[in-house]
Amino acid sequence: MQKKLSLYWVSQIAGWLSYGLTILFFASILDKQLNPIFYPRLLLNLTLGILITHLLRQTLHRFKLRPPIVANQWWKMVLILFIFSALYSFATSYLADLLKLYEPGRKFPIGRRFVFSVVFDTPLFLVWMSIYILWHYIEFANLEAINKVKLETIIKELELKTIKSQINPHFIFNALNSIRALVDEDPTRARQAITELSNILRSSIQVDKVEVTTLEKELSIVKDYLALEYIRFADRLKVEFKIDQETLANPIPPMMLQTLVENAIKHGLGKQPGDCFIKIISTFEADKHILKVQNNGVLLETESDGFGLQSTRERLNILYRGNALFEIYQCQPNQVTAKLVIPIKK
């Protein structure tokens, strides 16, 4: 952060000094004998330029006007550009008048000088803002490339962990034993169970090939997973879906909902006697997609930092640049909620 700030000030001062040297060069060519007020007037303009463009930068940061810039933000940038250009023109005109930095006999009314300054200074501020936008677009592109590499790494780690741990040999053996028991009793259901297991394995292997999938496809995998768990736990597993139909087409990261459902079964059924009640909720709230997986049980501190939940946080942070939220909490004395809040891309 300190290095980035130092680079900004070096660029800011160097840019304005280059502008000042350019003005000095052309002035010396056009006028062999410069007026004595030229140098203090130029110094005043450069000092005010550095200060006011720094305030302009702070304002742009305050309103979060940084790439990627969406359509409805451009008018704000144009408005801010004209405001600060006018502020610079007024400050230079007023202080030049106050310090008497004008040629004797050539003093124009301050209002007239202000209008002239706005006309000539606005292109200068437009160049400054163009450099600002270009700089941040390059920085954004580099950050996107870095985040893409990080995301690919996390997804590959998730895939390996899913195959080795979440959909591990223990789970596969249990599923196959359940299917074997069905071969004689219910051959049709056994064939269906094999298809469900195949779908889950295929999805876990392909998770690194796409960044997002639709909720509808993700629910299909979740239902295949639950169907296999029904075979193992029979009547102990109770699942309720409360899905807003409008959310089915919304994109979400693949295997993320399945991870939360698996975590809910693990802690709601595997670590306590009795039935496990799971509720999967999907709805829109304002410009957010809310996904909840609820299960009965008590949340322990160590249970919120497992690999699956930690990878969920990291993937959300990279995919949505900090605009998504994941939390797991005890919502009632005997109910735990895992909640995803994903921004809706318009």
Q: Tell me, what's the pLDDT at 2?
A: 60
Report which of residues 213 and 168 the model is more confident about.
213
Looking at every residue in the chain, the average pLDDT score rounds to 81
Rounded Cα gap, residues 291 and 280, in angstroms: 8
List the chain domain ranges: 2-146, 167-343
Q: Tell me, what's the pLDDT at 290?
A: 95
pLDDT digits (tens, 9 = 90+) for 215-226: 998 998 889 888
Averaged pLDDT, 326-343: 91
pTM beyond cutoff 0.85: no
Q: Tell me, what's the pLDDT at 185?
A: 78
Residue 165 C-alpha from the chain's centroid = 29
pLDDT digits (tens, 9 = 90+) for 200-214: 777 766 655 667 889
pLDDT at 167 over 50: no
Phi-psi category of 244—alpha, beta or left, where left has phi over 0 and alpha has psi -120 to 50? beta
Task: Output the CA–CA distances (angstroms, integers) from residue 89 to 56, 243, 345, in the order listed.
Answer: 14, 58, 40
pLDDT at 115 over 50: yes
SS3 215: helix
pLDDT digits (tens, 9 = 90+) for 268-293: 776 667 788 899 999 999 889 999 99
pLDDT digits (tens, 9 = 90+) for 21-32: 998 888 888 776
DSSP structure string for 146-210? HHHHHHHHHHHHHHHHIIIIIT-HHHHHHHHHHHHHHHHH-HHHHHHHHHHHHHHHHHHHSGGG-
- Sheet strands (E) in the chain: 213-214, 237-243, 251-252, 276-285, 288-296, 325-332, 335-343
* b/e code 247-282 from CB counts within 10 Å (16+ = b): beebbbbbbbbbbbbbbbbbbbbeeeeeebbbbbbb
Averaged pLDDT, 186-211: 77
pLDDT at 12 over 50: yes
Rounded Cα gap, residues 216 and 208, in angstroms: 19
Q: Tell me, what's the pLDDT at 184?
A: 77
**Contact partners, residue 269, CB within 8 Å, separation at least 6:** 233, 236, 237, 275, 276
pLDDT digits (tens, 9 = 90+) for 89-112: 888 888 887 887 766 555 556 666
Averaged pLDDT, 305-330: 80
Residue 244 C-alpha from the chain's centroid = 25
Which top CATH class is 167-343?
alpha beta
pLDDT at 163 over 50: no
Q: Tell me, what's the pLDDT at 97?
A: 79
Rounded Cα gap, residues 59 and 187, in angstroms: 69
Averaged pLDDT, 15-38: 84
Most confidently predicted of 18-32, 42-56, 73-87, 179-193: 42-56
Q: What is the DSSP letter of 115?
A: H
Averaged pLDDT, 134-156: 77
Residue at token pair 């946080």: 313
How big is the chain, counted in residues?
346
Say if CB 59 and CB 84 are below 8 A apart: yes
Say if CB 222 and CB 264 are below 8 A apart: no
pLDDT digits (tens, 9 = 90+) for 216-271: 989 988 898 888 888 777 778 889 999 999 999 999 988 889 888 888 888 777 66
pLDDT at 172 over 90: no
Residue 68: cis peptide before it, omega within 30 degrees of 0: yes
Task: Output the CA–CA distances (angstroms, integers) from residue 27 to 23, 24, 89, in the order listed.
Answer: 6, 5, 20
Say if CB 318 and CB 150 are below 8 A apart: yes
pLDDT level of residue 18 (50, 70, 90 thresholds): very high
Q: Tell me, what's the pLDDT at 332?
A: 87
DSSP structure string for 307-330? HHHHHHHHHHHHHHTT--EEEEEE
